[in-house]
């Protein structure tokens, strides 16, 4: 099932982001602050935080692992969703920091960035970090923050969108403003 | 700003934004009316009086940013956040004690702030039945109200217009109390699962009918119709569900002043039984006195009695307005009753977060041994797939498989049962536990009478009978042991003509005070089994008329 821009817009609308109008259109200057390796200085720890482009790339890569095989159009969907999430908010910076930890672990374990890992290695990376058994927590351990800002962030985007809902049999999932008619209709 | 972690918390002890936010929270000079509490009752009183009078409203909680509603919705969906986190309830501001035979989850049951608990309510707005006003005489349980259905009837109609109610106008519900005029909006269509229930109910001779929703089925009063976010309780991002910010804004447009984060700790009085000032604390640590000619306490069924108890003085050692000794007593809630299971066919649940069909058929069979009750047919039985997806150890195809297995075939019924008023079910002040302003926190002793518990068993029988007729595999029953409160706080400043038997009179004015009214479900002498907010709203409009008349006469 193809994820569309409408899905990304719906997922964004579900979480209150405003990127819908500019969906798929990179902001001017996006990534311009990045170094050659797609990173910007953290300033506090001395470690580097990924720029928007690197966050998008890593998140899209993780999405191919946590989304079911039946969906296509994942890159554009994640990209569109993140247009509204990487908005300078505390939440957006939480995503960036969690991706940074994921990248750091990937380089340490596999000597490669997340985006270059195989689907199986990404799965192993997430499970090795404990993101599968962790409960989401934006202030918790690395595993809990990766669960919150990466895994659940992506799952929320998918399953609050009409296409994600339809995979499960609900075209108007919770969080999606799919109108007040579908509840009265019988099964297709 | 998007994201559940970008939401302001709103609690006074939460740090950021609570100090030095540049808001003027000083008292309003020459106020005619001071309202304590910006929930539905306070907002309706303020709106009704603001055109003719200088009105100030004080609320202990914050003014919430409407742009944050989607982020609050995200909090409602994500497993990290508990229900009180959605609207920033909890912490020292909202501390309380439980000491009764049943624990009462107070901070799940209320929202503090401008809009009050209508921010998280379900939005069901039924009128009480005629017999509910005469429970003592007709059913032999509790006192009669000092007013009748007919006294409230025009105010019910007005409250329905004010809130915006989509309902069946009594046409399809022969059990509803009499009315002349239709509901302001047409009822929501029955759900697909309602049609399955209707068939089963028909073969059992049980009637099923529409329910009144304070939720727009069409554009109303400048607000959107329902767009199906599916998270009504605890947050409607579209504004289709009525909440009291509607009347707060309208009151402000007419000149009322609404002061948020203004925690009223006491009411002061003079020697002539008049309240003179509401003393409130603001986040900057200052204490202020709001003087007014009339005071309306509209702080809900727990904080209202608490405020009167906190206002004890030499003249009123047992608390203000407490000559009867009943302030805080007779704490009631509606008891939830339910049952659910699965069918071997799709049931289309969780598209919306409200229900569209109910059964009031058994309501007026109530007597000394059987409490009034109503039955509800849910549109949100079983899990929501997106919520399921965020908890578990799987992702990818195994997760999708789990979601498909878990969602799709659920059905459930709910219901509410009246509990009888009992003096030892009550709200008092904790002895050695104080809030962030040093005031004793409310201590709740909640107990439930046997008639209510027996009635829950009866409702379970009907629910299971319907579910079995439907062909459902019944998987859960919320009976007397599993019941819980519906978050309707009632009874703690009861209404009575007799100053020895009640806190307020038939006009909801405190017996002991010349210029102080209570607009709240705390005045209900008995509770019926209908959701209380429409009655709260009707009483609030009636209070406003009485305040207006008395101000005009002085």
Per residue, the 3-state secondary structure of B23-34, as one string, reads CCCCCCCCCCEE
Report CB contact under 8 Å: B70, A172: no
What gap in Å lies between CA B326 and CA A166, rounded to an integer? 55
Torsion sign, CA atoms B181, B185, B191, B195: positive
3-state secondary structure of B185: strand
- Which of 21-60 (A) contact B at CB < 8 A? none
Tell me: pLDDT of B126 over 90.
Answer: yes
User: How many domains are there within chain A?
Assistant: 1
Looking at CATH, the fold of the domain delimited by B30-165+213-331+420-447+487-553 is given as FAD/NAD(P)-binding domain (3.50.50)
Say if A155 falls within a structural domain. yes
What gap in Å lies between CA B252 and CA B237, rounded to an integer? 22
Say if A131 falls within a structural domain. yes
A106 vs B: CB within 8 A: no
Ranges of chain A with pLDDT below 50: 18-37, 41-46
Say if A129 falls within a structural domain. yes
What gap in Å lies between CA B438 and CA B441, rounded to an integer? 9
Which residues in chain B are closer than 8 Å to A23, comparing Cβ atoms? none
8 A C-beta contact, residue B2 and residue A17: yes
Select the residue of B226, B230, B385 nearest A159 (Cβ to Cβ): B385
**What residue in A sits closest to B355 (Cα-Cα)?**
A183
Alpha-carbon dihedral of residues B190, B191, B196, B197, nearest 10 degrees? -60
Report CB contact under 8 Å: B385, A13: no
Find the farthest-apart pair of alpha carbons in chain B and give their distance in angstroms, rounded: 74
Say if A120 falls within a structural domain. yes
Report CB contact under 8 Å: A182, B237: no
What gap in Å lies between CA B305 and CA B300, rounded to an integer? 9
Which residues in chain A are closer than 8 Å to B1, comparing Cβ atoms? 87-91
Q: What is the pLDDT of residue B45?
A: 99
8 A C-beta contact, residue B175 and residue B361: yes
Select the residue of B78, B351, B385 nearest A183 (Cβ to Cβ): B351
Residues with Cβ within 8 Å of A55's Cβ and at least 6 positions away in sequence, in order, are A82, A86, A95, A96, A99
8 A C-beta contact, residue B502 and residue B281: no
**What residue in A sits closest to B398 (Cα-Cα)?**
A68
A8 vs B: CB within 8 A: no
Q: What is the pLDDT of residue B27?
A: 98
Torsion sign, CA atoms B311, B316, B319, B320: negative
**What residue in A sits closest to B76 (Cα-Cα)?**
A175
| pLDDT tens, residue by residue, B382-391 | 999 999 999 9
A172 vs B: CB within 8 A: yes
Q: Which residue has the tokens 């374990």?
A: A109
Q: What is the pLDDT of residue A38?
A: 53
| pLDDT tens, residue by residue, B71-100 | 999 999 999 999 999 999 999 999 999 998
Q: Which two tokens stand for residue A37?
A: 């390796």
A136 vs B: CB within 8 A: yes
Q: How far is B101 from chain A (nearest CA, A)?
A: 33
Domain boundaries, chain B: 30-165+213-331+420-447+487-553, 183-212+334-418+449-482
Tell me: pLDDT of B488 over 90.
Answer: yes
Say if A163 falls within a structural domain. yes
Distance of CA B346 to the CA centre of its chain: 33
Report CB contact under 8 Å: B230, A14: no
What top-level class would CATH report for the domain B183-212+334-418+449-482? alpha beta
Q: Which of B6, B69, B217 to mutate to test the interface with A (most CBs of A within 10 A)?
A: B6
Q: Which two tokens stand for residue B156?
A: 């019910």
Neighbours of A85 (CB within 10 A): 26
Report CB contact under 8 Å: B386, A156: yes
Report CB contact under 8 Å: B191, A184: yes
Report CB contact under 8 Å: A183, B237: no
Tell me: pLDDT of B373 over 70.
Answer: yes
Q: What is the pLDDT of residue B20?
A: 62
Alpha-carbon dihedral of residues B131, B137, B141, B147, nearest 10 degrees? 60
Residues with Cβ within 8 Å of B549's Cβ and at least 6 positions away in sequence, in order, are none
Compute CA distances A134 → A21, A120, A127, whole Å.
34, 19, 10
Q: What is the pLDDT of residue A8?
A: 85
Distance of CA B244 to the CA centre of its chain: 11
Q: What is the pLDDT of residue A47?
A: 63
3-state secondary structure of B200: helix
Q: What is the pLDDT of residue A14?
A: 76
Tell me: pLDDT of B465 over 50.
Answer: yes
What gap in Å lies between CA A105 and CA A120, rounded to an integer? 15
What gap in Å lies between CA A130 and CA A116, rounded to an integer? 21
Distance of CA B355 to the CA centre of its chain: 17
Q: How far is B509 from chain A (nearest CA, A)?
A: 42
Count of A–B CB contacts within 8 Å? Answer: 202
Report CB contact under 8 Å: B404, A169: yes
A122 vs B: CB within 8 A: no
What gap in Å lies between CA B335 and CA B448, rounded to an integer? 9
Q: What is the pLDDT of residue B96?
A: 98
Torsion sign, CA atoms B496, B498, B499, B500: negative
Instruction: Tell me the residue range of the domain where A65 lies.
Output: 5-17+46-177
Phi, psi of B430 (to 5 degrees): -65, 150
Compute CA distances B461 → A182, B199, B342, B380, B416, whole Å.
31, 18, 17, 21, 14
Length of chain A: 188
Report CB contact under 8 Å: B73, A165: no
Tell me: pLDDT of B547 over 50.
Answer: yes
Q: What is the pLDDT of residue B1?
A: 63
Q: Which residue has the tokens 């302003």?
A: B437
Report CB contact under 8 Å: A176, B231: no
Phi, psi of A155 (to 5 degrees): -70, -40
Tell me: pLDDT of B309 over 70.
Answer: yes
Q: How far is A60 from chain B (nearest CA, A)?
A: 14
Percent of chain B scored above 70 by pLDDT?
97
- DSSP states of B119-173: GT---B-PPPPGGGGGHHHHHSSSPPPSS-HHHHHHHHHHHHHHHT-EE-TTSS-
**What residue in A sits closest to B225 (Cα-Cα)?**
A180
Q: Which of B385, B393, B410 to mutate to test the interface with A (most CBs of A within 10 A)?
A: B385
């Amino acid at each position: 099932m193809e994820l569309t821009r409408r899905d990304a817009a719906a997922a964004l609308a579900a979480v209150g982001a405003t990127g819908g109008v500019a969906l798929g259109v990179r902001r001017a200057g996006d990534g311009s602050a990045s170094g050659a390796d797609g990173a910007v200085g953290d300033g506090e720890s001395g470690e580097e935080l990924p720029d928007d482009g690197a966050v998008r790339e890593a998140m899209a890569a993780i999405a191919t692992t946590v989304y079911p095989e039946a969906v296509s159009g994942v890159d554009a969907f994640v990209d569109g969703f993140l247009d509204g999430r990487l908005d300078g908010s505390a939440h957006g910076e939480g995503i960036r920091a969690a991706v940074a930890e994921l990248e750091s672990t990937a380089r340490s374990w596999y000597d490669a960035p997340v985006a270059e890992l195989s689907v199986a290695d990404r799965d192993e990376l997430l499970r090795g970090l404990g993101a599968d058994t962790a409960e989401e927590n934006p202030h918790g351990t690395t595993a809990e923050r990766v669960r919150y800002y990466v895994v659940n962030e992506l799952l929320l985007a998918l399953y609050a969108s009409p296409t994600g809902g339809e995979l499960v049999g609900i075209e108007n999932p919770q969080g999606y403003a799919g109108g007040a008619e579908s509840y009265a209709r019988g099964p297709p | 700003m998007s994201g559940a972690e970008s939401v302001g918390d709103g609690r006074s002890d939460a740090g950021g934004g609570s100090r030095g936010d540049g808001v003027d929270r000083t008292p309003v000079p020459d106020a005619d009316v001071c309202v304590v509490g910006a929930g539905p009752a306070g907002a309706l009183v303020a709106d009704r009086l603001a055109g003719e009078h200088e009105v100030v409203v004080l609320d202990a909680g914050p003014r919430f940013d409407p742009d944050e509603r989607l982020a609050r919705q995200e909090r409602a969906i994500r497993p990290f956040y508990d229900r009180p986190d959605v609207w920033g309830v909890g912490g020292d501001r909202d501390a309380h004690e439980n000491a009764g035979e049943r624990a009462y989850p107070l901070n799940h049951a209320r929202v503090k702030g401008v809009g009050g608990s209508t921010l998280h309510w379900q939005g069901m707005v039924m009128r009480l039945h005629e017999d509910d006003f005469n429970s003592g005489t007709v059913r032999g349980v509790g006192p009669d109200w000092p007013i009748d259905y007919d006294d409230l009837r025009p105010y019910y109609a007005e409250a329905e217009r004010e809130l915006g109610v989509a309902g069946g106008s009594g046409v399809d519900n022969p059990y509803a109390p009499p009315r002349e005029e239709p509901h302001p909006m047409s009822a929501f269509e029955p759900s697909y699962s309602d049609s399955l229930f209707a068939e089963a109910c028909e073969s059992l001779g049980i009637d099923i009918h529409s329910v009144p929703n304070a939720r727009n089925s069409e554009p109303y009063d400048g607000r959107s119709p329902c767009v199906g976010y599916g998270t009504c309780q605890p947050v409607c991002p579209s504004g289709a569900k009525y909440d009291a910010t509607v009347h707060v804004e309208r009151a402000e447009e007419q000149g009322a002043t609404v002061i948020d984060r203004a925690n009223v700790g006491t009411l002061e009085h003079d020697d002539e039984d008049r309240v003179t000032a509401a003393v409130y604390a603001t986040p900057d640590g200052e204490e202020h006195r709001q003087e007014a000619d009339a005071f309306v306490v509209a702080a809900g069924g727990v904080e209202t009695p608490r405020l009167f108890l906190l206002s004890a003085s030499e003249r009123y050692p047992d608390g203000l307005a407490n000559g009867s000794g009943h302030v805080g007593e007779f704490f009631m809630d509606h008891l939830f009753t339910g049952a659910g299971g699965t069918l071997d066919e799709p049931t289309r649940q969780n598209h919306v977060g409200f229900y569209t069909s109910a059964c009031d058929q058994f309501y007026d069979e109530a007597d000394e041994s059987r409490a009034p009750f109503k039955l509800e047919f849910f549109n949100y039985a079983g899990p929501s797939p997106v919520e399921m997806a965020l908890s578990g150890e799987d992702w990818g195809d195994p997760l999708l498989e789990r979601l498909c297995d878990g969602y799709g075939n659920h059905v459930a019924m709910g219901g509410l049962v009246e509990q009888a008023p009992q003096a030892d079910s009550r709200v008092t002040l904790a002895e050695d536990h104080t809030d962030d302003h040093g005031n004793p926190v409310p201590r709740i002793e909640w107990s439930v009478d046997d008639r209510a518990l027996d009635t829950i068993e009866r409702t379970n029988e009907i629910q299971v009978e319907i579910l079995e007729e439907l062909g459902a595999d019944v998987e859960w029953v919320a009976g007397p042991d599993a019941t819980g409160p519906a978050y309707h706080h009632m009874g703690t400043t009861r209404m009575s003509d007799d100053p020895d038997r009640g806190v307020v009179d038939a006009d909801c004015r405190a017996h002991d005070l010349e210029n102080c009214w209570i607009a709240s479900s705390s005045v209900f002498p008995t509770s019926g089994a209908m959701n209380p907010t429409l009655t709260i709203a009707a009483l609030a409009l009636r209070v406003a008329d009485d305040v207006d008349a008395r101000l005009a006469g002085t």
